[in-house]
Amino acid sequence: MPFSGNRCYVENKKLNRMTKAYNKQIEKMRLKKDREALFDDQRTPFARKISRNMDQILIVASILQPEFSYGVVDRFLVLASYEKIIPILCITKIDLLSDETAVKCWVELYTSLGINVHSISALAKIGMDKLTGELTGKRTALAGHSGVGKSTILNTICPSLKIETGQVNLITGKGRHITRSVRLYRLDDDTDVFDLPGIRLIDFPDLNPTEVAAHFPDFRPYDGLCRFNDCSHLSEPGCVIKDAAESGELKRDRYNSYLRIIEELKL
């Protein structure tokens, strides 16, 4: 008896047709099982289910429409580090910029933090082969603000998917919320992508505010240098991280992301 996910081959025309139908059935069962793995247990935090079921998380951020959001990117990077999921950062819509300096700055910043970064345009088909290579043979969670171009990336990699894509409201720069539930897309036999819904679903299950700094690799050079051993890098005197953010030695946007995550965890 074949199990879910197994493939069967039989050398007989009539049987072959049946086998094809059977394979389809097995495939359906496997998809169902995969989806259930993410949703059956209400007590397991969503982020933990992702880390248990995925090989990696692809964090998508557009450079414009909507504008690059350190908040979203850094939040997912902390989540990935905390849950020990491999993150890949995908900076997209680079066709919208004539000046590449900004993109270069983000690529350099995140590469220096040890993150695998791709700058692409799904519409202009720039950098798509390399990105596709990252996903092939893996199970990837897809994260990022609505409207950044996640569905367009999947459609470009696999046109037969024909996923509905949203229009960006140019006044607010925010995307319309087209994706409402987690969708599993099978790009090929062993390549799955889970398109996650609104980022509010991605909670930090049991992360303590005092642990957040440990997930900011750019804070490492300052370890042990603050006046107080248990410095939370918020408003204590003699905090070298706060000073470094003020002088620009540490990227201010990254420090702001840190403050926002702490604030959120304290709510």
Ligand X SMILES: Nc1nc2c(ncn2[C@@H]2O[C@H](COP(=O)(O)OP(=O)(O)O)[C@@H](O)[C@H]2O)c(=O)[nH]1
Which residues lie near Zn ion (CB under 5 A)? 226, 231, 233, 239, 241
| Cα angle 73, 74, 76; round to 5 | 70
Asked if 165 is part of the footprint of ligand X (rule: CB under 6 A), the reply reads yes
Distance from C-alpha of 122 to C-alpha of 151, rounded to nearest angstrom: 10
CB-wise, 54 or 153, nearer to ligand X?
153
CB-wise, 90 or 240, nearer to Mg ion?
90
* Terminal alpha carbon distance of the chain: 52
Residues 6+ apart with CB under 8 A from 152: 122, 123, 165
CB-wise, 193 or 261, nearer to Mg ion?
193
Q: How far is CA 97 from CA 94, 125, 155, in A?
A: 6, 15, 22
| Spatial contact of 257 and 75, defined as CB atoms under 8 Å apart | yes
Asked if 151 is part of the footprint of Mg ion (rule: CB under 5 A), the reply reads yes
| Spatial contact of 79 and 56, defined as CB atoms under 8 Å apart | no
Alpha helices, DSSP H only, in 67-162?
70-83, 101-112, 128-135, 150-157
Distance from C-alpha of 17 to C-alpha of 253, rounded to nearest angstrom: 58
Asked if 87 is part of the footprint of ligand X (rule: CB under 6 A), the reply reads no
β-partners of residue 194 are 141, 184
Q: State the residue number with the nearest CB to Mg ion.
A: 151
CB-wise, 90 or 113, nearer to ligand X?
90
CB-wise, 153 or 239, nearer to Zn ion?
239
Q: What is the dihedral of CA 101, 73, 234, 230, to 10 degrees?
A: -120
Asked if 119 is part of the footprint of ligand X (rule: CB under 6 A), the reply reads no
Residue 239 interaction partner, one of Zn ion, ligand X, Mg ion, none, beta carbon < 5-8 Å per kind: Zn ion
Residue 148 interaction partner, one of Mg ion, ligand X, Zn ion, none, beta carbon < 5-8 Å per kind: ligand X
CB-wise, 92 or 179, nearer to Mg ion?
179
Residue 241 interaction partner, one of Mg ion, Zn ion, ligand X, none, beta carbon < 5-8 Å per kind: Zn ion
Asked if 179 is part of the footprint of Mg ion (rule: CB under 5 A), the reply reads yes
Q: In the bound complex, what is the minimum distance in angstroms from residue 128's beta carbon to ligand X?
A: 10
Residues that bind ligand X (CB under 6 A): 92-93, 95-96, 121-123, 144, 146-152, 165-168, 175, 178-179
Residues that bind Mg ion (CB under 5 A): 150-151, 179
